[in-house]
Amino acid sequence: MLENLDTRALYPSLKDKRVIISGGGSGIGAGLVEGFARQGARVAFVDIAKDASRDLCESLSGAAHVPVFRACDITDVSAYTDALGEMVEAIGGCDVLLNNAASDDRHTVAEVTPEYWDQRMAVNLKHQFFAAQAVAPKMKASGGGSIVNLGSISWHLGLEDLALYQTAKAAIEGLTRSLAREFGRDNIRVNTIVPGNVKTPRQEKWYTPEGEAEIVAAQCLDGRILPIDIAAMALFLASDDARFCTAHNYWVDAGWR
């Protein structure tokens, strides 16, 4: 079974690595927390979903390093900066940052107010920049690191009712290239993962079985992408195996066009 973790790669370079993840409590983020914990990494994550996050830590109580959870709303940059400092303290530094938290709420263009614009940019874009700004000096001090930003296929396809999410996700690809240029000489690599449609509890809310079937029909490959498949790319990009991979997009979309 491809979903069987026992058949998946283990990266020696990720053992004991200090990994910070935003939005790690559910969906793809939970897959990232599990994936890095399985590598023997020291994981810390933030989320607003307290119960789901605590349950996740409980389910990983047998890991070499049990993940550390801090409740935090990443749209509050000051609170998030404090939480990043606490997480760095708790796991002893930061080698890997996974900017994963986001919100794909739907809206029409006519419904958008200036306040809603700011809120959507805060949850989908702004925190990625400020988290990278906060951890880059820690990475530099320990000889380098890897930052992975979660983008989205949505704006490449031009999906409906997602103008602000898609605007933010488009900007993330530019952010990645800018940070990769500025941080490269400090051996900090920065990449974007571009997921296709990934089967998560929240996506189940948007798509009926017929809608899911339409997505699969538009993919080159059959089957639904799972959080574990996004985690697989993140593990590679965070590992030493990816030491010359930076400034680019890595797609995990089953060829959805």
Cα–Cα distance measured from residue 32 to residue 37, given in angstroms and rounded to the nearest whole number: 8
Q: Give me the least distance between CB of 65 and ligand NAD, in Å please.
A: 21
Can 11 be counted among the known catalytic residues? no
Using CB under 6 A, list all residues that contact ligand NAD: 23, 25-29, 46-49, 73-75, 100-104, 123, 150, 152-153, 195, 197-198, 200, 202-203
Closest CB to ligand NAD among 185 and 205? 205
Q: How far apart are CA 158 and CA 163, in angstroms?
A: 9
Nearest to 24 by CA among 93, 87, 95: 87
Q: Report yes or no: 36 and 86 within 8 Å, Cβ to Cβ.
A: no
Structure tokens at 164: 């602000």
Q: In sequence order, what are the residues at sequence separation of 6 or more whose Cβ sits closer than 8 angstroms to the Cβ of residue 103?
A: 120, 123, 124, 165
Min dist CB 69 to ligand NAD, Å, is 11
- Check 11, 80, 116, 165 and give the catalytic one: 165
Pick between residue 25 and residue 145 the one whose CB is nearest to ligand NAD. 25
In the block, tokens 């801090």 appear at 70
Minimum CB–partner distance for residue 152 and ligand NAD (Å): 4
Alpha helices, DSSP H, located in 60-108? 77-91
Q: What single string gives the DSSP state of each residue in 4-34?
A: -GGGS---GGGTT-EEEEESTTSHHHHHHHH
Q: Which is nearer to ligand NAD, 29 or 145 (CB)?
A: 29
DSSP 163: H
Q: At its nearest, how many Å lie between ligand NAD and the CB of residue 255?
A: 15
Q: How far is CA 82 from the centre of its chain?
A: 20
The neighbour count for residue 113, using CB atoms within 10 Å, is: 9
Using the minimum distance from each CB to ligand NAD, give the nearer residue, 116 or 240: 116
Among 105, 3, 100, 126, which residue's Cα sits nearest to residue 46?
100
Closest contact distance (angstroms) between CB of 161 and ligand NAD is 15
In the complex, least distance from residue 142 CB atom to ligand NAD, rounded to whole angstroms: 26
C-alpha span between 161 and 47 (Å, rounded): 25
List the catalytic residues: 165
